[in-house]
Structure 1
Amino acid sequence: MSGRHTTELVIFAVLFVIVSAMGFVAARWRRPTTMQSLDEWGLGGRSFGSWITWFLVGGDLYTAYTFVAVPALVFGAGAAGFYAVPYTIVVYPLVFLVLIRLWSVSHVHGFVTPADFVRARFGSSTLALLVAITGIVATMPYIALQLVGIQATLEAMGVTGHWPLIIAFAILAAYTYQSGLRAPALIAFVKDLLIYVVILVAIFYIPHKLGGWSHIFGAAQAKFDKTPATTDGTLLNHDNQLNYAMLALGSALALFLYPHSVTGVLASKNRNVIKRNMAALPAYSFLLGLIALLGFMAIAGGIKPVNGGNGKPDGNTVVPLLFDHVFPSWFTGVAYAAIGIGALVPAAIMSIAAANLFTRNIYKEYFRRDASPSEEATVSKLASLVVKIGAVLAILLLDPQFSIDLQLIGGVIILQTLPSVALGLVTRWFHRGGLIAGWVAGMAAGMWMLYRIRNPATNKLHFGGSAYPLNDIGLHTKMTVYVGAIALAINLIVAVLATVLLRALKTTDGVDITRADDYVADEGDPKVIQGSREVEEGLAT
């Protein structure tokens, strides 16, 4: 290891240790009488105000996906990687009203997970189980993406082998187990501060070092002109425009269906906190656009990705290598810490959210209906450890061309909960049997299409990405479509048709225990105070 890398590693390690210590200290931050309940361990006491929620949700949504995966896609494919910018702009108006309704009904009834809501809304434990399993499975590759970000940073510093990643994983598991949601909420302040500093410096300093924006875009276009793929380039073209639009819309619809996104929202103390955050969070979208440009800068800087464990160039290392190429060693260490910590915060929230799903909607529903709040918290802590192990397996088994596909494959899966969760918040028209049939059809179609997508970089035949080539179904075109959008369309069509049929046959439907005024309740409403007791009674019947 060179002296430069030693400096980077020392600074990275110091900041990582400081943040990890904050994770353990967080157990005493705003500490309640006891942490032995999901309301406290998994939702931070449902008491976070505007600033904490802004950093928490922002730290949850803008992750290693933002800092590593998006620039890697831009480096490898060009303009197609910028789909992440419009989707994060579109998403907030789409979810503004829906999330407020979810907050209200969840606080009235004491819901901890989206599956809790589905169980009460449609009176179906089977549908709630499907939503819970979907959320857990979809979260695995998303956590895996965070671990990929840490691994890429370590590789750029010349640190090889799996032990450093395992150590980071163990530390994350330990402070998440002890402090619950309070740990990532506290760490998010430091994480966002580091990221804003690094990106603002990078966006001005790196173009100056590389000869200006004209040279950067020129170098990128020259690279893509030499590649055989028709979908590469600094501009979109006929072959990738449809997939770009479908990716943006599909990703926007999926973002707040993820259990970790819901967890951040439910942890806020009132509806006004959510309103302010939906108005302010697009500031992160501006940051995301700047980060995506790092992919073009890496091309102009002549960055060559480090070879991964499969012997192929690992595009995830381009941003860390770019920082190493242009920044002084001490600031490179700070930048590496920003990436590493930027992966820890969302990984912690995701594992907590997935663990809550298992505890509330699988363990309590099917194994221990009389589980106490303390037992729920203990089971959720243990489940959060298992979820992280599943994320590691996702890295080993999927191995896609671009790490961003880990998130996009998860999006295909989580989109199948949209009819029951998102549409369920605004209408009770769907029959529970129709929603189950739609989920089965959409999931089957999505998995079939994903299975048929090969990875040209690693020569794996299956699950190599999320863009389905239309020529596979007999259309003579090079265009591709986002699997998630097609699977969701199939899901909705089947759900509608099955609902019409079941209504015509007068098939028994589930009982909705929510009421219209539950969806507009706010902090201070007497119903909110007594909600946790009501959900215990309602879900037990």
Structure 2
Amino acid sequence: MDVKVTELVIFCILFALVSVLGFVASRWRRPESMEHLDEWGLGGRNFGGWITWFLLGGDLYTAYTFVAVPALMYGAGALGFYALPYTVVLYPIVLLPLVRLWSVSHVHGFVTPADFVRARFGSSTLALLVAITGFVATMPYIALQLVGIEAVLKAMGVEGKWPITIAFLILAIYTYNSGLRAPALIAFVKDTLIYLTVIVAVIVIPAKLGGWDAIFEAAGAKFSAPAAQAAGSGLLLNANNQLNYITLAFGSALALFLYPHSLTGVLAARSRDTVKRNMAALPAYSFVLGLLALLGLMAIAAKIVPVGADPEAGVAGDRNTVVPLLFDWAFPSWFTGIAHAAVGIGALVPAAVMSIAAANLFTRNIYTEYIRPSASPAEEARVSKLASLAVKFVAVILVLGLDTQYSIDLQLIGGVIILQTLPAVALGVFTRWFHKWGLVAGWAAGMAAGFWMLWTIPNPATKREHFGGSAFKLSELGLDTKWTIYTGFLAVAVNLIVAMLVTWGLRAGKVPDGEDLTKPSDYTAEQGDPKVHDIPELVADGKTSST
């Protein structure tokens, strides 16, 4: 494929613009010193409603939105639309846990969910497991963002892994320099480009294809083919995948705000009320997500062939490229460059926040807890900066080494992992009933069950025998059915059952539990409340003094 020069030039110009913003962000609302995790990792805990809205929107609606969901719609049909109901039910579910977590975190100065678990259950072991889980689950999610950049580069005719490496280096440098302020500032540009691209796409592309009737007719014809029927694909759900669809949507909703990067955006908010307003306003992005998912069906109607595909030989190619190729088919070169930049920049914001969140987990809950308990806030900030570089490096290695035909698998597998922190984190803000060792036992059982189920799942399209998706066949449990279910949903059910049984046993045996360092009033504290944690003043020697 020849390099499309006009598209590539516009893409590079816009990419360079946001990179400059990333470096400028270090001076935006700059405090006297950035050598503190409250400043570098949480933006001073002072983001208002608009900044938080753009930051969370840019963080939650990612390259996965633009690339992976339409790719799944293109390849599997209706099942790929699970992302819309998932984001519809998400915000009512998470509203109350998040505002309570914001309050207790500001009272005590928590930076990570593992900080909260450490104080709530009095267990460094449980906190370590939560930190490791968050770190591991975040890695494939960061890799997914880089897959989005790779997809648009392939569509522009740029082959090889070196462009991703360059993008990684730029992202790493300005994140190291500016911390959370960089993705917060870039999110304004990213969301503007995305809304522009989506509005143009849903007007122009259906008009060129002859309307929505023609789009759904073409998609219906593809999915009515015997091969598609045999693979379980379809324009409508069938009897065997409806349970998987429901549990996938619900399980993904439970998982999203357990990710460290999602909580980082929440903890950076100025007030409890800011969190509430954002949970009410963020569903606006769900409407855009529904339109984006339909791009997969438009690609079918436009007869888009993925990069590297050979239909006659049965080679599927890289389905992540269908949306970039659709833009190339529908738009003039100059606007295609803008659309490609929207996807590329859409990967930068979440990748930056994810790397910061993962680095904070390592610093607070591994380095400071076990390696350097006497580390000063300035040392914590330096270690977190270095850890954020390492996280991005590992993500690049994942992209280089993994088959990412269905890149959404990366996110779904990460969801199975992060769901195992639900009892300790999400339920922990409401109840202290679980025994700390019950939660540890539940985590171990859920992880074992989740990885066993993922191991048994093949993917015929990619010729993988293991880790081929997240739809677990209930027949593997000896049931006489063709139904499938989301692995994460089943794994967290095992987690909860084991945690409850072990807790009952330990309570009956009067086994000592950890000390709860929080109080009920901590969970309702608001900005201006005298109980709310003040960010320490930073002084020259790296020590702190309370304001």
TM-score of the alignment, normalized to the shorter chain, above 0.5: yes
Provide closer, same or farther for how the CA distance between residues 484 and 532 of structure 1 changes in structure 2, counting only shifts above 3 A.
Answer: farther
CA distance in structure 2 between the aligned counterparts of 1:532 and 1:360, rounded to whole angstroms: 16
Q: Deviations over 1:376-432 (max 9, x none)?
A: 001001111111122223334542551111100000000000000000000000000
Residue of structure 2 equivalent to 1:442: 446
Contact 2:161 2:400 survives alignment (8 Å): no
Contact 1:43 1:181 survives alignment (8 Å): yes
Gaps of 5+ in 2: 538-547
AA partner of residue 450 (structure 2): G
Deviation at 1:527, TM superposition (A): 1.8
Contact 1:150 1:165 survives alignment (8 Å): yes
How do 1:149-228 residues align onto structure 2 when only pairs under 5 Å count? Answer: 149-226=148-225, 227-228=228-229
How do 1:126-525 residues align onto structure 2 when only pairs under 5 Å count? Answer: 126-226=125-225, 227-229=228-230, 231-307=232-308, 312-399=316-403, 401-525=405-529
Provide closer, same or farther for how the CA distance between residues 50 and 308 of structure 1 changes in structure 2, counting only shifts above 3 A.
Answer: farther
Alignment partner of 1:395: what SS?
Answer: helix
AA partner of residue 272 (structure 1): D
Using the aligned pairs only, state the percent identity. 71
Instruction: Say whether 1:99 aligns with 2:98.
Output: yes
Deviation at 1:453, TM superposition (A): 1.3
AA partner of residue 295 (structure 1): G
Select between 381-390 and 186-195 the one with higher mean Cα deviation: 381-390
Deviation at 1:312, TM superposition (A): 4.8
CA distance in structure 1 between the aligned counterparts of 2:177 and 2:166, rounded to whole angstroms: 17
Provide closer, same or farther for how the CA distance between residues 54 and 308 of structure 1 changes in structure 2, counting only shifts above 3 A.
Answer: farther
Deviation at 1:308, TM superposition (A): 8.0
Residue of structure 1 equivalent to 2:542: none
Alignment partner of 2:230: what SS?
Answer: coil
Alignment partner of 1:231: what SS?
Answer: coil
CA distance in structure 1 between the aligned counterparts of 2:145 and 2:164, rounded to whole angstroms: 11
Alignment partner of 1:528: what SS?
Answer: coil
Provide closer, same or farther for how the CA distance between residues 18 and 199 of structure 1 changes in structure 2, counting only shifts above 3 A.
Answer: same
Residue of structure 1 equivalent to 2:541: none
CA distance in structure 2 between the aligned counterparts of 1:454 and 1:388, rounded to whole angstroms: 28
CA distance in structure 2 between the aligned counterparts of 1:457 and 1:222, rounded to whole angstroms: 20
Residue of structure 2 equivalent to 1:72: 71
Give structure 1 regions of 4+ aligned residues with deviation exceeding 4 angstroms.
Answer: 308-312, 530-533
CA distance in structure 1 between the aligned counterparts of 2:184 and 2:70, rounded to whole angstroms: 26
Contact 1:24 1:175 survives alignment (8 Å): yes
Select between 456-465 and 401-410 the one with higher mean Cα deviation: 456-465
AA partner of residue 41 (structure 1): W
Q: Deviations over 1:59-78 (max 9, x none)?
A: 00000110000000000000
CA distance in structure 2 between the aligned counterparts of 1:300 and 1:113, rounded to whole angstroms: 45
Contact 2:171 2:348 survives alignment (8 Å): yes
Residue of structure 2 equivalent to 1:539: none
CA distance in structure 2 between the aligned counterparts of 1:394 and 1:440, rounded to whole angstroms: 25
CA distance in structure 1 between the aligned counterparts of 2:280 and 2:533, rounded to whole angstroms: 27
What RMSD, in angstroms, separates the aligned Cα atoms of the two structures? 1.6
Alignment partner of 2:526: what SS?
Answer: coil
CA distance in structure 2 between the aligned counterparts of 1:396 and 1:497, rounded to whole angstroms: 43
Contact 1:109 1:532 survives alignment (8 Å): no
CA distance in structure 1 between the aligned counterparts of 2:533 and 2:2, rounded to whole angstroms: 59
CA distance in structure 1 between the aligned counterparts of 2:450 and 2:402, rounded to whole angstroms: 15
Contact 1:398 1:463 survives alignment (8 Å): no
Deviation at 1:370, TM superposition (A): 0.6
Deviation at 1:504, TM superposition (A): 0.3
Provide closer, same or farther for how the CA distance between residues 531 and 327 of structure 1 changes in structure 2, counting only shifts above 3 A.
Answer: closer
Residue of structure 1 equivalent to 2:37: 38
Deviation at 1:234, TM superposition (A): 1.1
Q: Deviations over 1:331-353 (max 9, x none)?
A: 00000000000000000000000
Residue of structure 2 equivalent to 1:83: 82
CA distance in structure 2 between the aligned counterparts of 1:188 and 1:110, rounded to whole angstroms: 26
CA distance in structure 1 between the aligned counterparts of 2:476 and 2:419, rounded to whole angstroms: 23
CA distance in structure 1 between the aligned counterparts of 2:399 and 2:19, rounded to whole angstroms: 23
AA partner of residue 327 (structure 2): F
TM-score (norm 2): 0.95
CA distance in structure 2 between the aligned counterparts of 1:470 and 1:42, rounded to whole angstroms: 42
CA distance in structure 2 between the aligned counterparts of 1:349 and 1:381, rounded to whole angstroms: 12
Contact 1:400 1:463 survives alignment (8 Å): no
Residue of structure 2 equivalent to 1:537: none
Contact 2:165 2:396 survives alignment (8 Å): no
TM-score (norm 1): 0.96
AA partner of residue 278 (structure 1): M
Contact 1:100 1:274 survives alignment (8 Å): yes
Alignment partner of 1:340: what SS?
Answer: helix
Select between 394-403 and 460-469 the one with higher mean Cα deviation: 394-403
Contact 1:113 1:259 survives alignment (8 Å): yes
Deviation at 1:373, TM superposition (A): 0.6
Provide closer, same or farther for how the CA distance between residues 514 and 406 of structure 1 changes in structure 2, counting only shifts above 3 A.
Answer: same
Contact 1:401 1:455 survives alignment (8 Å): no
AA partner of residue 270 (structure 1): S
AA partner of residue 232 (structure 1): S
CA distance in structure 2 between the aligned counterparts of 1:240 and 1:164, rounded to whole angstroms: 38
